[in-house]
Amino acid sequence: MFTKKIELIKNVTCTGCMACLNVCPVGAIFMQEDERGFYKPKINLSKCIDCGLCDKTCPILNENNLNNISPELYALWANDKIRLSSSSGGAFTLFAEEIINRGGVVFGAAWGDNFSVVHQKAENLQELELLKKSKYVQSFIGTTFKQVETYLLQNRWVLFVGTGCQIGGLRSFIRNKNIDDSKLLLIDLWCFNIPSSKTLKKYINDNWGNTLESFSFRTKKNNNYVSHYFTIKQKGMNPVVIEHFSYWFKAYFSLMYECDACTKCKFQKQERFGDISLGDFWGIENHDKSWNDGKGTSMVQINTQKGKEFLSAISNECARLEKVPLDWVREGQGNGKKQNPNQQLFYDLIDQGILFNKAVELALAGKKFDIGFCCVQVYNNFGSGITNYALYKTLKDYNKEVLIITQPKSSTISPLNKTYFKNNPFAREDCAKFYNNKEEMKELNKICKTFLIGSDQMFNSYLYPFIDGFIKLDWVNDSNKKVCYATSLGADKFESNPKETENFKKCIRRFDYVSVREESGVEIMKNKFQIIADCVMDPVFLCDKKHYLSLIEPFENSFEKGKCFCYILDPDLEKETFLNKFKSKSNINLFVVSDLANSPELVKSKWSMQTEYLSYIEEWLTCVYNSSFVIADSFHGLCFALIFNKPFIVLHSKRRGDERVLNLLKLIGYENRLIDVYKDNYNIQKIISTKIDFDKINSIINNSILHSRVWIETNIIN
Ligand SMILES: Cc1cc2nc3c(=O)[nH]c(=O)nc-3n(C[C@H](O)[C@H](O)[C@H](O)COP(=O)(O)OP(=O)(O)OC[C@H]3O[C@@H](n4cnc5c(N)ncnc54)[C@H](O)[C@@H]3O)c2cc1C
Ligand code: SF4
Ligand code: SF4
Ligand code: SF4
């Protein structure tokens, strides 16, 4: 069996006109959507009888245009009622009504299910309403050409309206089947290019979810004849006209959707396939102002004798009709003939689930995401959440496009579709979809320039296997920059089996720049992996304080001020004893909170302290902010005590080790604020009465921040 030529052209010049599907005598051809949602034919070889009709009929593979007279151009208005319910001057309705009055059938494009567009017939004025107005989406022709054949054989008049390529397809179908077409009127549209319904659905879904009941293009409002107004109707609500220049049209007019077939279009020239060609008479006011009254003017090109007869038949129904010079057709009236240079980027972004508007914005600017920020975005730990927030905000303040990438679904710790923030501060457009596995994540190489591993314990050798080791960036191309910022190993050692240690080493050695949060991390990187790493500040110190204050503001009055905020990750009896002693010596009331991960039952089984349960990261932050003292067995508890200049005590953590807090305490010269409650050799009174010199601490921290900022600017931002 020979390969059919239609199979060869389908990825490039095939317009999806479906002439081949209609002509196939054995129903061997069916349509499939290509990656971008355009309809393309596929041959079922087990049915194909090799008759060659498909190749013979395809209007792309065969040269056949139609004009049998030199074209004439007209400007046309139907009455105002028709004009206001049509895209341009309402010419289509006048021709369609003429056909219906002759007992004929009209074929045109109507909205189908789920914002698809389908060609269908209308035999009365009610059905005709559905065909009116331009739908900027490729319509599904289906078997309408065969239906046209049936009606013609019944000696009925038929009007078929479609884009130039669809009309070219129908013309070819009729010729090849040798059908008498004397009662067939063909109207083709001037056509810029046609998006796929898959793309429109993405636009609708990303902007309105599944709340839309209907969507229609070309709304006319306040005598403003523009192409980009459209109307949406949400369930249970009144229709709303969208007047601004939407992302849909920004992309459309920038040729972002233009498919290869439209680029190579042979139907948008003066020699046409229809008896009549219809378009919007854009720019007619440049020749005659009176023709633009804001309600729309049809551009009618008459290409055949039959077209001429029909124009004459409807002329009495026209509110205004005038023959105008052919050169009033604007340059670029039809097809754009080129694609936006960033089209591939646009589709790559869309394919990766980036929100439609964001994808348009980036593609129009020819920009990828500057940084793919890899972290565990949602984890039931206040510190983890606020660290991600801090780094995200810091990068955004550098005006960078940041895409937050969380662990794949193949991880033991699944990515979560929730947030521990009351008011999610991560813009939805900045969040990547959840990938099934690292293999799928490779797609992200197309849309991010740099990949950054966030802070906290991303290199903790015990923890990272639970997130499928995605932080090793072994799914990132060599050519994409790989960086880690203040990434913590969580302990003063890297403990894994030799094979995984070797694997981690191989991966981390592919990183372009490495920084860690603890000095011990610098040593591990050097001794175990032969990497020079820098020690930098946790991002919570880099984030502009105004961002924390904006999180706190709505909660500030919900928590009493002046208490001692006790943030205890691992409650036990020794810590309880310490806290009670502190309370009696200091006379400060306690507000005790445990970790998000700890259930009330677990906490109750560990001690009998009255413990409060916070649900949101903003509440936790507010508690630190409103407190007069902070006691914590947590690194981030200490960090925020320092950021908000609260006197503090850090409790030794048996379970988690003190490496991270000690590192910070050493930096500021307050190692003596780390208390080992299990040794009972502390002097609470002394600790309480020792004043903390926050001026000195702030100055040390500010210096370190400066150093860290230089690191970020040198290795990530610039
Ligand atoms: C995708 C698209 C791009 C266009 N681009 C241009 C352009 O660049 N320049 C220009 O001058 N005119 C363009 N037009 C044509 C113009 O928008 C009007 O459709 C035309 O002027 C007819 O308007 P009307 O007032 O006579 O009647 P309307 O009632 O608006 O008639 C609309 C007609 O278009 C048909 N139609 C609607 N959507 C589709 C579709 N998706 N596929 C096939 N047929 C459809 C309907 O069946 C109906 O017959 C475009 C139309 C479409 C559908
Ligand atoms: S060769 Fe004939 S039978 Fe085979 S797909 Fe084409 S039209 Fe159908
Ligand atoms: S007939 Fe139309 S749909 Fe079929 S291959 Fe040719 S252009 Fe494509
Ligand atoms: S631009 Fe050409 S190929 Fe594209 S839809 Fe219009 S007529 Fe068809």
Tens-digit pLDDT profile for residues 587-612: 999 999 999 999 999 999 999 999 99
CA atoms within 13 A on the CB side of 535: 14
Phi, psi of 146 (to 5 degrees): -70, -35
The answer to whether residue 553 sits within a structural domain is: no
pLDDT above 90 for 7: no
For residue 211, being part of any structural domain is answered with no
Name the percent of the chain lying above pLDDT 70: 99
* Pocket lining for ligand 4, CB < 6 angstroms: 15, 163-165, 191, 193-194, 261-262, 265, 267-268, 335
For residues 191 and 275, state if they share a domain. Answer: yes
- At residue 66 the predicted structure's pLDDT band, cuts being 50, 70 and 90, is low
Q: With respect to residue 67, please indicate whether it lies within any of the assigned structural domains.
A: no
Residue nearest to atom 2 of ligand 2 (CA): 51
Return d(Cα 399, Cα 7) in angstroms, integer.
Answer: 47
pLDDT exceeds cutoff 70 at 1:
no
User: Is the pLDDT confidence value at 91 over 80?
Assistant: yes
- Number of neighbouring beta carbons within 10 Å of residue 679: 9
Least distant ligand from the CA of 265:
4
Q: How large is the average pLDDT for residues 187-201?
A: 95
- 571 and 660 housed in the same domain: yes
Among 486, 507, 542, which residue terminates a domain?
542
The reply to whether 76 and 49 lie within a common domain is no
Pair 651, 677: CB distance under 8 Å: yes
Asked if residue 164 belongs to a domain, the reply is: yes
Using alpha carbons, select from 447, 577, 451 the residue that is nearest to residue 508: 451
534 and 609 part of one domain: no
Residue 205 has a pLDDT of 97
Q: Give the per-residue pLDDT at 65.
A: 62
Residues with CB under 6 A from ligand 3: 6, 9-10, 14-20, 41, 58, 60, 169
If you measure from the C-alpha of residue 60 to the centroid of ligand 4, how many angstroms do you get, rounded to a whole number?
11
Q: How many CB atoms lie within 10 A of CB 714?
A: 10
Which of 4, 5, 6 has most ligand 2 atoms within 8 Å of CB, for mutation?
4
Mean pLDDT, rounded, for 650-666: 90
Task: Confirm whether 304 is domain-assigned.
Answer: yes
pLDDT recorded at residue 698? 98
Q: How far apart are CA 271 and CA 478, in angstroms?
A: 52
Alpha helices (H) in 607-654, listed in sequence order: 617-626, 635-643
CATH of the domain at 644: 3.40.50.2000
Three-class DSSP category at 566: strand
Q: Contact 405/373 with Cβ under 8 angstroms?
A: yes
d(Cα 528, Cα 523) in Å, to the nearest integer? 8
Which CATH number fits the domain that encloses residue 409?
Answer: 3.40.50.11820
What's the rounded Cα separation, in Å, for the pair 506 and 472? 9
Residue 335 pLDDT: 66
Number of domains observed in the structure of the chain: 4
Q: Are residues 497 and 526 in the same domain?
A: yes
In a domain, 349, yes or no: no
Whole-angstrom distance, CA of residue 624 vs CA of residue 541: 15
Task: Examine the domain organization and report whether 477 and 593 are in the same domain.
Answer: no
Does one domain contain both 11 and 76?
no
What's the average model confidence in pLDDT over 558-568?
96
Q: Is 298 helix (H, G, I), strand (E, B) or coil?
A: strand
Rounded mean pLDDT of 564-585? 96
Instruction: Let me know: does 190 contact 163? Beta carbons within 8 Å.
Output: no
378 and 480 in a single domain? The answer is yes
Q: Quote the pTM value.
A: 0.91
Q: Does residue 579 surpass a pLDDT of 60?
A: yes
Do 311 and 458 fall within a single domain?
A: no
Q: Is the pLDDT of residue 484 over 80?
A: yes
Residues in the chain, total: 718
Mean pLDDT, the chain, whole residue set: 95
54 confidence band (pLDDT: 50, 70, 90): very high
Task: Look at 102 and 654; give whichever has higher pLDDT.
Answer: 102
Residue 474 has pLDDT above 90, yes or no: yes
Q: What is the pLDDT of residue 10?
A: 81
Q: What is the pLDDT at residue 12? A: 86
Q: What residue ranges line ligand 1, CB within 6 angstroms?
A: 86-93, 108-109, 117, 131-137, 139, 161-163, 189-192, 194, 278-280, 298-299, 333-334
Q: Tell me what the mean pLDDT of segment 423-433 comes to.
A: 95
Clarify whether residues 51 and 78 are in a common domain.
Answer: no
Domain CATH number, residue 42: 3.30.70.20
Q: Establish if 387 belongs to a structural domain.
A: yes
Tell me the C-alpha distance between 417 and 406, whole Å.
11
Residues 273 and 178 occupy one common structural domain: yes
pLDDT in tens, 304-362: 999 999 999 999 999 999 999 999 988 777 766 789 999 999 999 999 999 999 999 99
Q: Show the domain range for 178.
A: 72-195+258-328
How far apart (Å, rounded) are the C-alpha atoms in residues 654 and 412? 25
Strand partners, 321: 76
262 CA to centre of ligand 2 in angstroms: 25
* Domain membership flag for residue 588: yes
Per-residue confidence (pLDDT) for residue 704, from 0 to 100: 96
Whether 3 shows a pLDDT value over 80: the answer reads no
Residue bearing the CA closest to ligand 2, atom 4: 48
In a shared domain, residues 494 and 624: no
Q: Taking a C-beta distance cutoff of 8 angstroms, is the pair 196, 36 a contact?
A: yes
